[in-house]
Amino acid sequence: MYIFCCCFGAWLLAPSSASSARTLSVSLGQSVTLLCEEAANANVSIEWRFKQQEHDQRQSVVVLHDGGVSPGPGFKERVKFVRTENERNYSITLGDVEFNDGGVYECKALHTDHIFSDVRLQVLVPSQVFGVLGQSVSLPCYGNINKQIHSDELHIQWQKDRQDVYKHQNSKTTYGPGFENRVSVSLDRAPHGDLSLTIEEAGLSDQGEYRCIYNIQKENGQPSLVRLNVTALDAPTNHTLIERREKPTGELTSSASSARTLSVSLGQSVTLLCEGAANANVSIEWRFKQQEQDQRQSVVVLHDGGVSPGPGFKERVKFVRTENPRNYGITLDPVEFNDGGVYECKALRTDHIFSDVRLQVLVPSQVFGVLGQSVSLPCYGNINKQIRSDELHIQWQKDGQDVYKHQNSKTTYGPGFENRVSVSLDRAPHGDLSLTIEEAGLSDQGEYRCIYNIQKENGQPPLVRLNVTDEPVPSVIPPPDSSLSGGAVAGIVVGLLLFVPAVIKIITMIIAMRKNQRMPGWRAIFSRDAKANEENDANSRGQNMMVPNGPSVPEPRPVPETRVDVPGTEPDVPEAEPLVPDVQISVLETQPSET
């Protein structure tokens, strides 16, 4: 007994086997299972803990003890222990994942520091893309690709439901089942940071969530997740939009001591100022680096011989023309995703830096609203699950101007948005900071940005572009049942579309036959005995359906008597227009499958 206790104590004080937390990705709103099988032989109470940021205190997720299960704040009714044959499997399933569930989770022995396993959970917010059945569709993805990368160094991977769809590595391209020679990525655009996937002849089976990964380190592209919906009608992007053609330009003056951040939307223009060099009679060079460990690249050099743009910036960079001939600010247009990084304005062939700025390139998520109706702009943030309502700080901006601001329990609105926009303060502690706009108008179109916390952190997605259409967005065809292939479901849809007009045609022919029943050369055929049929015609107020004379036909099955007008028996009445019934096809909506 003594030996057992000593050994158990030594095990209990042993360091964690999980030297570093692995990363697990899950889509917002889905469920995820966190494993803790290392504790299978431990006869102890178990606690799962969680922290969002490195500097945060750990919060209790759930405790399993002799008294039962005790979920922590923010996890009630969403966390369950996994039931397996092993009664000591302490893995948990987290349902309806919220954005601020992202962070590091630890499975540990209760009241000790011993950690059995840990995992970093990354919550991905999918961007919605609509495609048209049978047509090509593009799924956006952007990455910080080195501007001077060689084609044989490119590593690009697209996955759907964790299965490869497209993979390019070591100058070789492979495809997933069902995607052979039907998907592509432009290797000419890749060095510019554009890794978008094109799918030809989109089918119902193509619907789902796609993920883009690049570089050997398997970095996530932006947006991190794309949800493809296939419609039977034109996608929203094909609707007539009344676009605002404003092209916002960002401007910032920065001191050389520390780079401040300037944000710009992908594809727009941005101006970087270098007024600190106004009095310097020297040649000027702008330099750039994407990551902290990268070497600096030349953006552009201004010297006596003229202007010399660097690789990756040709035809996109211009010096700003002002009254001061020694203003060395530059305009970059259009901005590419891998333009993001730190820019320095310096004297050529010296280390003297006049100014620097960190450029952040935002990829807007597209949202479509209908004129006069309400629309929701998505935004999610890592809000502390135990935050008090008076600590909430939420801010929405459009074109740099406040639309909505909630701070110190007080809400203010921007001009034209008074009492027309709202954020659910009940959902905010769950990480949902989405903005609802009532009675959307054409003037509401534009780019919106969501900011939260006193530190003014960007929400996810970092930028939302609202488009207002003058007609409803088409319905999305739900994903096909797993027991049917995409081709089978498409065949059913096409069959129904062909069947409905045929039914209407038959109904119309029957009604026309009824209207022509009194024409000469017609006779009844629904009786075995023609003579008996004639007597029946003379004595009855109606007659059976008539067809034209012709070859004998097989005896039909008995049908219900149809009453018609016979000359000489009743006055003629005006004939009514034939009624063609409305035929509707309803497709039941299905819930998205779990990732």
Residue 18, sorted as left (phi over 0), alpha (psi -120 to 50) or beta, turns out to be beta
Cα(106)–Cα(117) distance, integer angstroms:
6
- Cβ-based burial of 389 (10 A; exposed 0-12, middle 13-18, buried ≥19): exposed
pLDDT per residue of the chain (595 residues) written in tens, 0 to 9: 333 333 333 333 333 433 467 888 888 888 899 988 666 666 678 889 998 877 778 888 998 877 678 888 888 888 888 766 566 678 889 988 888 888 899 998 888 888 888 899 988 888 888 888 888 999 998 888 887 788 788 999 999 988 999 999 988 999 999 999 899 999 988 888 889 999 999 988 898 999 999 988 788 888 878 989 887 655 444 332 323 333 333 433 333 346 778 888 888 888 888 866 666 667 888 999 887 778 888 899 887 667 888 888 888 888 876 555 566 888 998 988 888 889 998 888 888 888 888 898 887 788 888 999 999 999 988 888 778 878 899 999 998 889 999 998 899 999 999 989 999 998 888 888 999 999 999 999 999 999 998 778 888 888 898 989 886 655 445 544 444 444 444 444 445 555 556 656 666 676 666 555 544 443 443 344 444 445 545 454 444 444 444 444 444 445 444 444 444 444 444 444 444 444 444 444 444 444 3
> How far, in Å, are 213, 297, 322 from residue 330 at the CA level?
32, 16, 11
pLDDT score for 307: 81
Look at the block and give the residue holding tokens 């406040």: 402
pLDDT score for 305: 63
Asked if residue 67 lies in contact with residue 124, where contact means CB atoms within 8 angstroms, the answer is: no
Beta bridge partners of 121: 24, 103
pLDDT score for 8: 33
Asked if residue 147 lies in contact with residue 154, where contact means CB atoms within 8 angstroms, the answer is: no
Least Cα distance to 224 among 337, 139, 130, 124 occurs for: 124
The number of angstroms, rounded, from the C-alpha of 339 to the middle of its chain's C-alpha atoms is 23
pLDDT score for 199: 95
Cα(310)–Cα(439) distance, integer angstroms:
48
What's the token pair of residue 309? 């743009």
pLDDT score for 423: 94
pLDDT score for 510: 66
In tens, the pLDDT along 267-284 reads 888 888 886 666 666 788
Least Cα distance to 422 among 412, 408, 431 occurs for: 412
pLDDT score for 410: 92
Least Cα distance to 154 among 189, 128, 109, 122 occurs for: 189
Residue 8, sorted as left (phi over 0), alpha (psi -120 to 50) or beta, turns out to be alpha
Asked if residue 595 lies in contact with residue 161, where contact means CB atoms within 8 angstroms, the answer is: yes
3-state DSSP helix/strand/coil % of the chain, to nearest 5:
15, 35, 50
pLDDT score for 175: 94
Helix (H, G, I), strand (E, B) or coil at 10: helix
Cα(333)–Cα(316) distance, integer angstroms:
5
What's the token pair of residue 511? 């009604």
> How far, in Å, are 191, 365, 375, 444 from residue 372 at the CA level?
42, 21, 9, 11
DSSP secondary structure, 51-68, as one string: ESSTTSPPEEEEEEETTE
Cα(465)–Cα(369) distance, integer angstroms:
11
What is the enclosing helix (H) or strand (E) of 9?
Answer: helix 2-12
Cα(421)–Cα(417) distance, integer angstroms:
6
Least Cα distance to 148 among 311, 340, 377 occurs for: 311
Other residues' Cβ atoms within 10 Å of the Cβ of residue 205: 17
What is the enclosing helix (H) or strand (E) of 121?
Answer: strand 115-124
Residue 281 — φ and ψ, nearest 5°?
Answer: -95, 65
In tens, the pLDDT along 161-218 reads 889 999 999 889 999 999 998 999 999 888 888 899 999 999 888 989 999 999 887 8
Within 8 A by CB and 6+ apart from 131, the residues are 137, 199, 202, 206, 228, 229, 230, 231, 235
pLDDT score for 40: 61
Q: Find the length of the chain.
A: 595
Least Cα distance to 170 among 148, 185, 155 occurs for: 155
H-state helical runs in 381-516: 486-515
pLDDT score for 37: 67
HSE of 397 in the Cβ direction (CA atoms, 13 Å)? 12
Look at the block and give the residue holding tokens 């007080």: 410
Q: How many helices (H) and strands (E) does the chain have?
A: 3, 41
H-state helical runs in 455-588: 486-515, 530-539
pLDDT score for 234: 53
What is the enclosing helix (H) or strand (E) of 354?
Answer: strand 353-362
Cα(120)–Cα(493) distance, integer angstroms:
43
